[in-house]
Structure 1
Amino acid sequence: MINNYLNKLLNESYSDRVRVSNLFNKNDLGKEPIVFTDVMKTWPSYPKWNFKYLSDNYGKHQILADRVNEGRHQFIETTFSNFITYMINEEEANPYYGKSALHLSNGMKHDYFTGSYFVCWYREWYRERENEVRKLNMSNLYLGPRNAKSPLHIDIWGTSFWNALFVGKKLWVFFNPNDEKCLYNGKVDPFDPDLNLYPLFEGVKPIIHVQQPGELIYCPGNIWHAIYVLEPSLALSENFINEENYLNVLNTFKEFGYTNAYQKMLAIVDSFKSK
């Protein structure tokens, strides 16, 4: 539901705006979030992928959805058809947000391509070594009803990511790394903050973008961000590791004592840096 704070976020005098580019330039990466308007134009998936396409072709497949309710994660599992019906008609204040890697197990994976834009050493390493099992696929479809939220967070391992929107409308909120101390380790809800509990958040100026179909949002690693679904949406998102962010990943593994993962990532990095 659009509350007073959401209206404030959408006010240009309160929030800065994410830079929009109609021409992809790899030299722009690694610095700040950017919206690219040209990447999806070359994909067979756009505008083919929509709710009807998923229902007609994959309606019986299962999808897992979750939400955070009073600080606790709640999950449901249902079919794509049922969830799409739910998300189109649902108007509750805190609905479930669906997530699936369905596209990786069928022909959908041939309907988009970003290799020349966002090279992923991690993905390429395991593609060349099919006998090895990788920890994460780092690629997911997201189906969100109106009012669904992805809470304030940094993406896994400090990786960068891109998010391509096929249907709907989503509000993205990003924060400058200098404001990290005001974000309370992600505990504050940037769409409806309790300023009595989190008073420092009042001094933060977010960077926002209302994502439209056909737009791809790129975000470098270690940037705090959150998403609010304004209209029922379908998006594809992938994380990637390369020269831009591999030090973030190594530092994360080292910090948490993930010795095996650290050694594996060193091998991946050495393999690609030597090419």
Structure 2
Amino acid sequence: MKLNLQEIPRVKTITKKDFIKNYYKPQKPVVIENFIEDWPAYGKWSLDYMKEVAGDKEVPLYDDRPVDYKEDFNEPHAKMKMSEYIDLLKSEPTKYRIFLWNIFKEVPSLQNDYSLPNLGLKLLKSVPMLFFGGTNSHTFMHYDIDFSNILHFHFEGKKQCILFDQKQSDFLYKIPHSLIVREDIDFSNPDFEKWPALKHTQGYITELEHGNILYMPEGYWHYMKYLTPGFSMSLRSITRNPINVGKALYNFLFMRQYDNLMRRFKGQKWIDWKNEQAIKRTHQKNGI
């Protein structure tokens, strides 16, 4: 048995009008295959090129270890020179990923290699983020704290993406007071005996290759798995939906602060309680 996933619609290219009408307004994902060929980045950006221009920079690395109460939000698990990291990616599978790294602060000239797509989104060029990973490394299923609209541009290699909208949250074993689900769920090959509520999910799947753009609407859950070594860049557009603005403010001002406070106060017991509650609440909501 597999997850109930439909392929994300794919278009070769798209106009601003059609993007707004067919995907942004209804908040549906789409992959745009041929849209950035005029970017210098399209022809230049590769793992080798990033090693050349940023090889001496120290980068934050993350793996798939469970959340530890001692760690701050998005605290890296290790650090390494970019040149060493890319050599590692190319030599063997590794779980180490670069997550939410603004390389453009370190190498400003890279800002000249791309431009903001004219798709009707007010994209923030000041906060582009890069994501790198090796074969079979993956992110936990999560959604972004600010409920932004995301354009995810992929460079080199192949990446599998699984998405769910917020309506699927009751089936995903969401961790209370958090933006992630149970970290021991393998969304590429889930164990339905252990996680029976996943049978009820309805989501999306796609594979990204060099030059593809994935549009992820506001608050979409996403799981990314690198099928081969590669990297991506994300640009974001702040939500204008009043409900999602409220949810984003709640996440920043209350949820994250409360979670950090409880970690300091209760330590690992807080993490263990949240993990237990994820199962208990999900099964109660679904009569399991």
The TM tier, using the shorter chain, reads 0.7 to 0.9
Equivalent in the alignment of 1:231: 228
Q: Which amino acid aligns with 1:63?
A: V
**TM-score after normalising by structure 1:** 0.75
* 117 and 140 in structure 1: CA distance in 2 versus 1, 3 angstrom threshold: same
Return the offset for 1:51: 1.2
**Structure 1: how far apart are the matches of 2:222 and 2:47?**
26
**Structure 1: how far apart are the matches of 2:193 and 2:66?**
17
Equivalent in the alignment of 1:189: 186
Identical residues among aligned pairs (%):
21
* Aligned residues of 1:47 and 1:166 also touching (Cα < 8 A): no
Equivalent residue for 2:31, pick from 15, 31, 35: 35
Of Structure 1 and Structure 2, the greater strand share is in 1
* 156 and 239 in structure 1: CA distance in 2 versus 1, 3 angstrom threshold: farther
Secondary structure of 2:64's partner? strand
* Aligned residues of 2:145 and 2:252 also touching (Cα < 8 A): no
Secondary structure of 1:231's partner? coil
**Structure 2: how far apart are the matches of 1:251 and 1:205?**
23
Return the offset for 1:156: 2.2
Equivalent in the alignment of 1:58: 54
* Aligned residues of 2:149 and 2:239 also touching (Cα < 8 A): no
- What is the correspondence of 1:22-101 to structure 2 with a 5 Å cutoff? 22-24=12-14, 25-27=18-20, 28-30=23-25, 31-72=27-68, 75-92=77-94, 95-99=95-99, 100-101=101-102
Q: Which amino acid aligns with 1:170?
A: K
- Residues 191-240 of structure 1 deviation map (CA, whole Å, 9 limit, x = unaligned): 24343442101232431001111100011111111111101012111222
* Aligned residues of 1:160 and 1:241 also touching (Cα < 8 A): yes
Return the offset for 1:71: 4.4
- Residues 15-49 of structure 1 deviation map (CA, whole Å, 9 limit, x = unaligned): 31001112223323242111012322121111201
**Structure 2: how far apart are the matches of 1:70 and 1:251?**
25
* Aligned residues of 1:167 and 1:232 also touching (Cα < 8 A): yes
- Residues 119-163 of structure 1 deviation map (CA, whole Å, 9 limit, x = unaligned): 337x48xxxxxxxxxxxx642111110011011011121111111
**Structure 1: how far apart are the matches of 2:163 and 2:66?**
23
* Aligned residues of 1:172 and 1:228 also touching (Cα < 8 A): yes
Equivalent in the alignment of 1:199: 196
Q: Which amino acid aligns with 2:236?
A: N
Q: Which amino acid aligns with 1:29?
A: Y
* Aligned residues of 2:146 and 2:238 also touching (Cα < 8 A): no
Q: Which amino acid aligns with 2:53?
A: N
Secondary structure of 1:142's partner? strand
Equivalent in the alignment of 1:152: 141
Equivalent in the alignment of 1:262: none
* Aligned residues of 1:176 and 1:223 also touching (Cα < 8 A): yes
Matched, 1:102 2:103: yes
Secondary structure of 2:116's partner? coil
Q: Which amino acid aligns with 2:192?
A: L
* 248 and 56 in structure 1: CA distance in 2 versus 1, 3 angstrom threshold: same
Equivalent residue for 2:118, pick from 116, 119, 130: 116
Q: Which amino acid aligns with 1:166?
A: F
**Structure 1: how far apart are the matches of 2:216 and 2:142?**
12
**TM-score after normalising by structure 2:** 0.72
**Structure 1: how far apart are the matches of 2:150 and 2:143?**
10
Unmatched 5+ residue regions in structure 1? 125-136, 259-275
- Residues 55-90 of structure 1 deviation map (CA, whole Å, 9 limit, x = unaligned): 122210111110122444761111110000111122
Q: Which amino acid aligns with 2:97?
A: Y
Unmatched 5+ residue regions in structure 2? 175-180, 255-288
Q: How many residues align?
A: 232
**Structure 2: how far apart are the matches of 1:206 and 1:90?**
31
Q: Which amino acid aligns with 1:142?
A: F
* Aligned residues of 1:98 and 1:142 also touching (Cα < 8 A): yes
RMSD (Å) for aligned C-alpha atoms: 2.4
* Aligned residues of 2:54 and 2:82 also touching (Cα < 8 A): yes
